[in-house]
Structure 1
Amino acid sequence: MQPVPDPQSTPPPTRPTRRRLPHALRPLLALALTAAGLAALPVAPAGARDGAPATALAANPYQRGPAPTVASIEATRGPFAIAQTTVAASSVSGFRGGTIYYPTSTAEGTFGAVAVSPGFTSSQSAVAWLGPRLASQGFVVITIDTLSVYDQPASRGTQLLAAVDYLANSSSVRTRVDRNRLAVMGHSMGGGGSLSAAAARPSLQAAIPLTGWHTVKNWSSVRVPTLVIGAENDTTAPVSSHSEPFYTSLPASLDKAYLELNAAGHSAPTSPNVTIAKYSISWLKRFVDDDTRYEQFLCPAPRGSAIQEYRDTCPHS
């Protein structure tokens, strides 16, 4: 079956320059400003109530929530109370509706947004568990239905972009979303779609293909920090012909990682999975929220019985 033609999505504003400043240089910048007589700092966001130093919050206004622990990123729910709302297919264009999960409080400011696509022949129910899992960690998340369950990866990529644009620009929760901090995820052909979306829009802050499937193997044009998650026993999208070449083809200079789930199959991302959740949360926090508190879970490379293999470039601080 031929994929449904892709609608056009609204392009986002220019990628913010905040990620161009290495974290290691921020203290030096602060000292320079102080020496110049500009020592006054802005009032810290409400996140200071969570125990984060005011100076750290001033350096990173996107930081959300308390300091993370292994327990907090492995938990079924994070520190944010959440709500959800249904998006009818008839109310949107570019994708076939979905479900939005979002933090109920904006006391700490706006949030980054993540769109998640299911795979071939699947509905949003296949990835629904990721909605509350990620939202409760401080993200606005939409799990989508695609225009057709038979849509190919490139089409799913365009639909993911339409979904994050909808979240940021016209959804009922748009005032909670920072439209400069958007990310995409997906399972199987939806994972291939997340790579297509990343290639099409370098202003995205993160991409996470989950046991991704795509006929395109070369993603050297991608400039978006990408976490590729594969599964050792995947026979639908074998890592040798999908996830591994996806990762290898990404630029060596890119923030990237490859996580292979031990003794897992293609459908591993379609039900609650602690390993997928903890490293997806860490990746999104590090690159969507620019929160270096989560680097400890990504570098040095994590090990454990649930991980068959892990490769990375380590975040370029």
Structure 2
Amino acid sequence: MSEHHEADAGSPAGGPGGASGGAGAAARDRQAPDRQARAVRLGGRSAFALGLVSAVGVVAFGWPLLADSASGLAHSRDAPWLFAVLLPLLIAVVVATIADTGLNAKAVAMLGVLAAAGAALRPLGAGTAGLEPMFFLMVLAGRVLGPGFGFVLGAVCMFASALLTGGVGPWMPFQMLSMGWVAMGAGLLPGSDNLRGRGELALLAVYGAVASAAYGLVMNLQGWTYIAGLSSGISFVPGDPVAENLARFTAYWLATSLGWDLPRALLTVVLTLTLGATVLRALRRATRRAAFDVPDRPAPTAD
């Protein structure tokens, strides 16, 4: 009851605002929701934009394996830079989501808080064996707030952290897209309305481990083409058969990235299992109190 009294401290005791507001907040907190609130509900335009940028992203990451020797793309040294146009598309997804689903002030505020928290977490371990605690927060936030909010959060969080750490470059759009996929995938996991407790934590831990490792895998695929000039046994060879380039990439990933991806996945699992229950409760309480499904009403004006 102490939390409800603190929440009602802004209204006079016994006044109509304090009584009705406190009762409503208490009722929402006591109620076990069967249907989880979504801060952003994907509409037609935003879903199409999200699908489009994801499709372009798959091509952008996989072009070294997809391009044949006869294509100009296979012989282009500029292909990775050309795909950096993903950044405007990501921004377009955010704009389309806001325009199509009515991202209200409460959702914007939560987006800002979580993006700032994720951006602050990233530098804490990024220089030590790939340990990045921001992944567990993105997974839990995507789980609670849904795939649409999760994608926007992942992209904005990675953009903010790049500005914070000075990591701005042609790789940044790929990082934004990949982190958006990580958080969006958590929002698409089954049982969002009824799976709770240890079962949910186990599901999120497994997903977090896979997503954390997959993030490193796809980001290495994006950067792999840059070492073509080294002419080593793990370099990308434009136009070579897919099987040969895939074998070289696998060797490249094992040699350069696996030692970072596994600790990142392990840290995500540990944080999810130890702190996940507390963070999930806090996020769900915040979504209930924010009442995202209830549209904002303009303040009454004096006659």
The normalised TM-score by structure 1 is 0.28
- Larger proportion of helix: 2
The normalised TM-score by structure 2 is 0.29
Compare relative contact order (CA 8 Å, sep 6+) and give the higher one, 1 or 2.
2
- Larger proportion of strand: 1
